[in-house]
Amino acid sequence: MDSFLIKGGVPLHGEVEISGAKNAVLPIMAATLLTPEPCVIHRVPQLSDVRFMTQILEWLGAKARLDGGALRIEARRIKGHADYDLVRKMRGSICIMGPLLGRLRKAVVSLPGGCVIGARPINLHLKAFAALGAKIRIESGYVEASAKKLVGGPMFLGGRAGSTVLGTANAMMAAVLAEGVTFIESAACEPEVVDLANFLIAMGAKIQGAGSPTITITGVSQLHGAEHEVIPDRIEAATFAIAAGATNGEIVLKGARADHLRAVIDKLNEAGVVVERRGADLVARRNGRLQAVDVTTLPYAGFPTDVQAQMMALMALTPGISIITERIFESRFMHVSELARLGAEIEIEGPSAIVKGGKPLSGAPVMASDLRASAALVVAGLAARGTTQVNRVYHLDRGYEQMDVKLRRLGARIQRIEES
């Protein structure tokens, strides 16, 4: 397993190209299953999660070809059954279920199970399919949704932590080929949901209201091929902005969209990291001393759970006390004990982490537990004195395109140690 060796203490300067959004491209790739015609997706990030999703689509019968940054997928004939071995690698693969149900009227997918950040149930996904008239059966570790015909209707997708991003994606992808009109109430409002809706609309779907809590879908009998460019990754942009603040540098986030990052920009400004527009890009830099801020993660447009760990790394470097509350995933604090290895003082109290920041961090070997936890350890390592070895960076490779290469271009002393 590869690791990163980081010699910290270098302020990062320069430009970084923000890649296409992982959490937008995965459901968009799944949506290509809705038509037998070819689709072309632009600005596809080279990530292991994208490779997993490509394998799943190929296993289902689709043909996929990568041409530069464009991915061409043609799902002329497909089957509706996905095995445990395929699905277990990536929880996001659950979003093949909606399009399979929409197109074939039947989907059998291995239950994805939980992961280190929390239980990750799929009850709301199944509620959406049932609201469209599908019968749901769970047997031998597989979930089956099937229907003679899908009929649109009202559905409510609010859960205990707000809506569900992939659940909303699944509901939309099943409903576009249902008869009649579907109303999704308490829909997720994330930009990735809007990007998927835009792709589906380009395929001929009739969708209104994506980006708001009420989405209206008027079913059509078939969809056609389409071409689409994926939105820039707001979480990657936020991570580099935080790295600029943590190292007292200045980074131009090329192509990042301020309108997708309002809560992050607001919080970073409060913390003494300015993120402002420069032409078509954003630029992040420190504005004097860092200030301790409290952060609570919330569904969009609130502060994203996917930036919580990186923000905690920044707060560990900031003099004062910061309370970081996680409202989306109950166990998303795996980075706390690893940040402590670098010298951070953090206590967990229920859903909150209390960070007593400002003590200088010093490099140490640390273990990445999940994608965003890994990013937090890299940010901390970049600011720490001495050398930090971040082990198991395959987690990072799932969701950050060439992070080591991009950081090196910004001046970081970071090296990938490849292990066969």
Q: Does 351 bind ligand EPU (CB under 6 A)?
A: no
Q: Does 401 bind ligand EPU (CB under 6 A)?
A: no
Q: Does 399 bind ligand EPU (CB under 6 A)?
A: yes
Q: Does 193 bind ligand EPU (CB under 6 A)?
A: no
| Full DSSP string of 303-324 | B-GGGHHHHHHHHHTSSEEEEE
Q: Does 306 bind ligand EPU (CB under 6 A)?
A: yes
Quote the least distance from Cβ 330 to ligand EPU, whole Å: 7
Q: Does 302 bind ligand EPU (CB under 6 A)?
A: no
Task: Show the binding pattern over residues 77-116: x = contacts ligand EPU (CB under 6 A), - = does not.
Answer: ---------------x------------------------
Residue 189 appears among annotated catalytic residues:
no
Q: Does 395 bind ligand EPU (CB under 6 A)?
A: no
| Full DSSP string of 235-263 | HHHHHHHHHHHHHT-EEEEET--GGG-HH
Q: Does 50 bind ligand EPU (CB under 6 A)?
A: no
Q: Which stretch binds ligand EPU (CB under 6 A): 12-20, 119-127, 209-217, 270-278?
A: 119-127
Q: Does 295 bind ligand EPU (CB under 6 A)?
A: no
**Paired sense of beta strands 227-229 and 39-42, if any:** parallel
Q: Given candidates 35, 164, 198, 369, which one binds ligand EPU under the rule CB under 6 A? A: 164
Q: Nearer Cβ to ligand EPU, position 122 or 364?
A: 122
Q: In what order do the strands lie in the sheet with 106-110?
A: 81-82, 106-110, 142-146, 135-139
The whole-angstrom separation of Cα 384 and Cα 307 is 19
| Torsion angles phi and psi, residue 179, rounded to 5 | -80, 140
CA-to-CA dists, residue 149 to 35, 107, 116, 135, angstroms: 17, 13, 37, 11
CA-to-CA dists, residue 306 to 84, 235, 236, 283, 333, angstroms: 26, 7, 10, 20, 12
Kindly list the catalytic residues.
115
Interacting residues with ligand EPU (CB under 6 A) = 23, 26, 92, 118-125, 159-161, 164-167, 188, 305-306, 328-329, 371-372, 399
